[in-house]
Structure 1
Amino acid sequence: MPHSPFTFRCLPLACLLCMLLLNIGVCQAQVQDSTQTDSTKQNFNTRVIENLKELSKRKTIMGKLMKALLDFDRADEEVYGLDAELIRKEYEKHNYKIVRRIDILTLDVFGYSINDTSKVPDTFLEKAGNSLHVKTGRGLIRNKLLFEKMKPLEPLALVESERLLRQTKYLLDARIIVNEETTTNDSVDVFVVTKDIFSLGGSGSYSPSSGRGRVTLRELNFLGQGHQIEGSYKFNMDRPRPWEAAAYYTVENIGKTYVSADLAYVDENYYKEKSLFLRRDFFSLNTKYAGAVGASWIDERILLPSTPEDTAARFGNVSYTRQDAWLGRALKFKSYNLGYDSRGRVILGARVINTNYTTTPTGNFQDNTLMLGSVGYSIRKYYKDRFIFGFGRTEDIPVGTLFTVTGGYQDGSIWDRKYFSTSLSFAKYGTNFGYLYGKAGYGSYIRDDRWEQGVLDVETMYITKLSERGNWKLRHYLLGRGTIGIDRHPEELLSINDDSGVRGFRSDLVRGTRRITFNYEANLYTPLSLLGFRLATFVFADVAWLSTGNQSSPFKESPYRSYGVGFRLRNEFLSFSTIQITLSYYPKLPPNDNLRDFRIYESSATHYDLRDFQFNRPGVADFY
């Protein structure tokens, strides 16, 4: 078996300093355990930590390495309001009062506490780390708030503003508090406190055996004004051209319009894109209007159907330009209870997509204008929890229901046809139950009373409640997905690569039109810190069935599988991607592909994600 390359991350020098800060006790992202912890848990936690401490005291190479890398004496910060629905009852009595005053406090990265604002940096390294970072401007925070000075306080405005701040990429956490001491019968004073992350960061990888690597740099909060810049470069690639590059620029919430601008430039071997979009999402429960307008220029090489004799993938070139615009309007039901605002919304949306091809590999591509209209019903709310995907920071858990029906008409240069789709999704969450998500959707074009290019999509995900034993925390993740293509074009093919089914699996020859996948993972969050990065370990198993043809069942084919173990490192104070190293075993491999049974590889992406119930633009059902 060929030797498996080991890949490692390269970090900018300035951020290495920030890593060292956490090793002296700066990082405080985890919740302090209750004094009510039973003796069994305490004994387990103490026994493991003490054994590791004893190993680190030995004068061996392993002992010295453990002493240098592991931090056993972390001071954890208490976090308030967890496991609670974001609509907090104590705020209901303040609805429709006049906001008399808004005080905003923005905290730097190191040495400060969002729950204890009297805490300040007291070491040279903490102060040095903060000097490398430009703190978020208060005006930027003010523009995120859904309430204004000298105006009535709308229901949900406080909790929705806190959620929007917390989900901002350059903020670690946020709290919005009503000053009860100065509150009157008709007015309130509001205090807003936010804590930054170190916005300059990146990631990288390098394989010594092949010389192949990747470097990514990003700035999430340029000069404290919220501008986000990211660039990546890949080199020594085994492709027709040895390098690839990409750059992205985003300006969030221009003024206080909640309109954002996205600019993208991608120059890869098989995909090239230049695009510019202005967008406004249904960012809050109370948002009335959303929409976007933009244009893109795309050149790509798509995979063509393979035969059993093929030893290399066959590709075709597609080039096109696209103009895209949509507008949505949310209608809420009347509520006669001033202390409660209904979360249910009816949303109407319309979209126009104009596509013009300059190069096509087959006759299944045509210039066209697609007009879509949709109606949806959305109920969404949020809970707070930790250790879902983060390593101790507060996370917002979306739950609710979203039902949509979409219809449209495609005016093409060769043929005209109609379009229809519908989907239903829901999620439930409880501290003693965990998180359950389900979705089912179907979409298809209709031409001459014949349904074509259809897709049936189903998905379910379950995340168990957090199990704790001392400072060790465990969650299980289960994900099942099915994508069934119905009368698809021959060049429209599904893969099982990475997030599409089997993590770490990469093959251009394994393609089909019907796919069923199941994924399992157990994630153990440890109390250990490695160079200031929180450490988690995991085991996983992936199974994927794939078939070709509109009538064949995926279960008639033997599945592709992967089993593995790995660890993740994450620093919530920095903008680095999660560092992940995985060892995987693949019992079945395609006969004509140069793959290995065992692989050690790095990744910065997680295999799971929470689905929001925010209504997006009307669109065609995805098939990828």
Structure 2
Amino acid sequence: MAAFGLFLPYHKIKSQNTSTKKDTSAQKEISIQKYLKQQSNNSFIHKKLYEWLVVSKDSNISKNEIFAALEKENEKYTNKIIRSIKIKQISPFAKSILDTIGISTSKVGKHLDDLRFETKPSIIKSNLTFKRGEFVNMRKLKDSERILRSLNFITDALIIVEPAIIDTSLVNVLVITQDSYPYGVRLSISGNNAQFGLYSKNALGYGLEVEHKINTQKTEDGRIGLYEHLRWENIYGSFITLDTEFNNTYNSNSQSIGAQKDFFIPEIKYAGGFKISKNFKINHLNKSTGNEYLNNHDHLIQDYWIGRSYLINAENFFNRSNLTILGQTMFSDYYNMVDTLMEFPHYKPNFSIFGSVAFSKRDFYKNQLIYNYGRTEDVPYGFLGSLSFGYNQNDQKNRYYSAAHFSFGKTLIPNKGYLYISSDIQSFFHKGQPEDSRIKLQAKFISSLNRIGVHRLRSFLSASYVNGYHNSYPNYIYINQSNNGLRGYSSHLLKGTQKIVFSNENILFSSKELLGFKMAFFSFFDMAWISNRSKYFNNKPFYSIGGGFRIRNDHLVFNTIQVQLAYFPRIPTDGKEFAHRLTSEQTNSFNQFAPQKPYVDIYK
């Protein structure tokens, strides 16, 4: 029996019992067990599902193994014509997307389910790369799964193909999605500042993200801090995302609006976007940080870009690679500047135009327990190389620009982890002399998943080098936590133009869970140098050592709740020996090797 058959007979089982309206969840579960056990004798897929869903919650059968078996079944129907596309949605409180047979959730889960809007089927269909009447194409099936999983309001997605009963030259396609529970809370407590926010990632079932957050530290005019955010991702399958923000808090006062379409899949021909952002100076910030040149000014910045990609189909390694041509223009205006800054060209009205040529290739494989706690993660591998050029103009001088980027990521075989390396170099030129030159080198390693009893352990290593030289105005980088530096350190007083950061983190994913919430324990070690000179190692490094735990439910849109304690053997400027943080952390993501706009600020 084909895999798709698993999802149809149960409706028959269920319909046979319509005369008994008060079925208990136990009765349903017995009928499900009986059905799967019968089918497991004839089908590898049913056998795996039986072991996964029924035999034991601690079964050694991995979800990836089941997905691989279902994918193999789908390949049998390549080039068959799609007769129909059906959507099946799974409760956010089901154990996994494989729990498609309707096992009852808890009473609490049912009540919470009643409060949400289920994703509209039209939204799900609009995110598919195939249509009714087309031939089955495995690449399109995989891309569609990945697109659905990338949406903030979808936990997981699975696509299964079944031959049509009336004509075996036709097939039916079942798209199974598991919504994330859309409502969430943000909480952050650090020092004398507390933030609390409410949001929905799937308002009215249309994939709209709406957030409202308050900040107890009052703004400069004595009001409670407010943050408002509206985001609409991949609008009706167009790959266009709209994003707008309003932020008026103790340390930020800004507004922005933008829209962007990325080269999310190689077949996209055109992409582009814009962002308009306005910032208002906060006078007390420079006093509290002691940094006159912190990017805290009244300014308006406009950024527009567009790109055209050409798909390369070849019978070799470069099949499904892309050659992409991109263009970008930027406008920046600064207002009410102090006299000491007015002399720098950077703070005068600037017009810039950039162009680039990029060559890229990428693909994905599925994995788990990397940045999430059990949901399917699409891990990219491939490469991206680009050359950029441009022109910058203001009323003091004109400058030319050039840059280069290369990055690649790959799995280390056999099962030895994942490696990512990237390099960037960029510079402006005025009368043949370099200005505002930048170099950035990065390396990241993610280990394979190791067993520690019934738990799982994964290690993360990273190293980064950032150098800014020939600066035409005072411009600094930092080694605090928000600038990819020392965890637990928040001050801007440690600044420079060059830095090196080494980081190690070990995460133990616990096998235990409560109401879908899973816990992970972590330890970390960070080491950083910051300097205004090239001789880093003449300066002593700063260290951050510590650990903590994180709590997350992949079926909810809550950010990860993190409790962190850091110890500083060498106390940094404006720091303490120990620092503790209770925060709501966003999930990290992979670099996708997709072509990007020609100019991106790498000096961070």
Q: Same fold (TM over 0.5)?
A: yes
Distance 2:425 2:583 in 1: 32
CA–CA separation in structure 2 for the residues paired with 1:471 and 1:355: 55
Residue 232 of structure 2: which of 251, 266, 269 is its match?
251
Q: Is the 8 A contact 2:354 2:599 kept in 1?
A: yes
- In 2, distance between residues paired with 1:367 and 1:505? 35
Q: 1:314 to 1:353 in 2, by over 3 A?
A: closer
Matching residue of 2:32: none
Contact 1:270 1:300 in 2 (8 A): no
| Equivalent position SS for 1:249 | strand
Q: 1:189 Cα shift?
A: 2.0
- Alignment correspondent of 1:356: 333
- Secondary structure (helix, strand or coil) at the match of 1:179 reads strand
By how many angstroms is 1:531 displaced?
6.0
Percentage of matched positions with identical amino acids:
29
Q: TM-score of the superposition, structure 2-length normalised?
A: 0.83
Corresponding residue for 2:537? 555
Indicate conservation of the 8 Å contact 1:97/1:152, yes or no.
yes
C-alpha distance in 2 between matches for 1:311 and 1:393: 41
**Alpha-carbon distance, 1:252 to partner:** 2.1
RMSD: 3.0
Structure 2 match to 1:586: 568
Distance 2:129 2:98 in 1: 22
CA distance in 1, matches of 2:587, 2:537: 23
Q: Match for 1:564: what amino acid?
A: G
After superposition, the Cα gap between the structure-2 partners of 1:466 and 1:255, relative to the gap in structure 1 and judged at 3 Å, is closer
Report how far residue 99 of structure 1 moved.
2.3
Does structure 1 residue 424 correspond to structure 2 residue 406? Answer: yes
CA distance in 1, matches of 2:587, 2:499: 17
Q: Deviations over 1:501-540 (max 9, x none)?
A: 1011111211000000000011111122356421111111
Richer in helix (by share)? 2
How far apart are the structure 1 equivalents of 2:266 and 2:306? Answer: 17
Superposition deviation, residue 622 in structure 1:
1.7
Per-residue Cα deviation, 1:304-330 (whole angstroms, up to 9, x for no partner): 999xxx994435752222332211111
The residue number in structure 1 matching 2:356 is 374
The structural deviation recorded for 1:468 is 1.1
Residue identity opposite 1:432 in structure 2: N
**CA–CA distance in structure 2, aligned partners of residues 298 and 255 of structure 1:** 31
Query: Which region of structure 1 is more displaced relative to structure 2, 462-471 or 150-159?
Result: 150-159
- Once the two structures are TM-superposed, the CA of residue 168 in structure 1 deviates from its matched residue by 1.1
Check whether the contact 1:380–1:398 (CA below 8 A) recurs between aligned residues.
yes
For residues 236 and 522 of structure 2, what CA distance do their matches in structure 1 show? 43
Q: Which position in structure 2 is the counterpart of 1:318?
A: 297
Q: Is the 8 A contact 1:86 1:159 kept in 2?
A: no
Give CA deviations for 1:331-390 in whole Å, capped at 9, x if unaligned. Answer: 1113469xx992311111111112222233412222121111111111111111111011
How far apart, CA to CA, are the structure 2 residues paired with 1:552 and 1:237? 41
Residue among 162, 167, 175 paired with 2:158: 175
Give the AA of the match of 2:197: T
Q: Name the CA shift for 1:240/1:509 in 2 (closer, same or farther; >3 Å).
A: farther
8 Å CA contact 2:188–2:584 kept in 1: the answer is no
2:497 alignment partner in structure 1: 513
Q: Is the 8 A contact 1:155 1:341 kept in 2?
A: no
| Greater alpha carbon shift after TM alignment, 290-299 vs 364-373 | 290-299
Tell whether 2:243 aligns with 1:262.
yes
User: What's 1:327 paired with?
Assistant: 306
Task: Tell me, yes or no, if structure 1 residue 342 matches structure 2 residue 319.
Answer: yes
Partners of 2:315 and 2:255 lie apart in 1 by 49
> Structure 1 counterpart of 2:411, which letter?
Y
> Which one of the candidate residues 489, 511, 521 is aligned to 1:537?
521
The answer as to 2:430 corresponding to 1:453 is: no
Tell me the SS of whatever aligns to 1:163: helix
Q: CA deviation at 1:94?
A: 4.7
Q: Write the deviation string for residues 527-555 of structure 1: whole angstroms up to 9, x where unpaired.
A: 2235642111111100000002xx43222
Structure 1 residues 115-194: aligned runs within 5 Å: 115-154=98-137, 156-180=139-163, 187-194=170-177
The 1:447–1:182 alpha-carbon spacing in structure 2 relative to 1, beyond 3 Å, is farther
Point out where structure 2 has 5 or more consecutive residues left out of the alignment. 1-55
Shift of 1:280: 1.1
Judge which range, 328-337 or 508-517, deviates more: 328-337
Whether the aligned pair in 1 keeps the contact of 2:435 and 2:471 (CA below 8 Å) is yes
Cα contact 1:82–1:385 (8 A) shared by 2: no
Q: Is the 8 A contact 2:217 2:250 kept in 1?
A: no
| 1:276 aligns to 2:272 (yes or no) | no
Cα distance 1:609–1:334, how it changes in 2: closer, same or farther (>3 A)?
Answer: closer
Higher relative contact order (CA 8 A, sep 6+): 1
Q: Mean alpha-carbon deviation: is it higher for 467-476 or for 290-299?
A: 290-299
Question: 1:96–1:155: 8 Å Cα contact kept in structure 2?
Answer: no
Query: Is the contact made by 2:219 and 2:249 (CA closer than 8 Å) also made in structure 1?
Result: no
| CA distance in 2 between partners of 1:87 and 1:380 (Å) | 23
Distance 1:450 1:86, change over 3 A: farther
Moved more, 582-591 or 142-151: 582-591
2:34 is matched with none
Residue pair 2:442, 2:465 contacting (<8 A) in 1 also: yes
Contact 1:401 1:426 survives alignment (8 Å): yes
Structure 1 unaligned spans of 5+: 1-72
* Cα pair 1:305 1:491 within 8 Å, conserved: no
SS in 2 for 1:255: helix
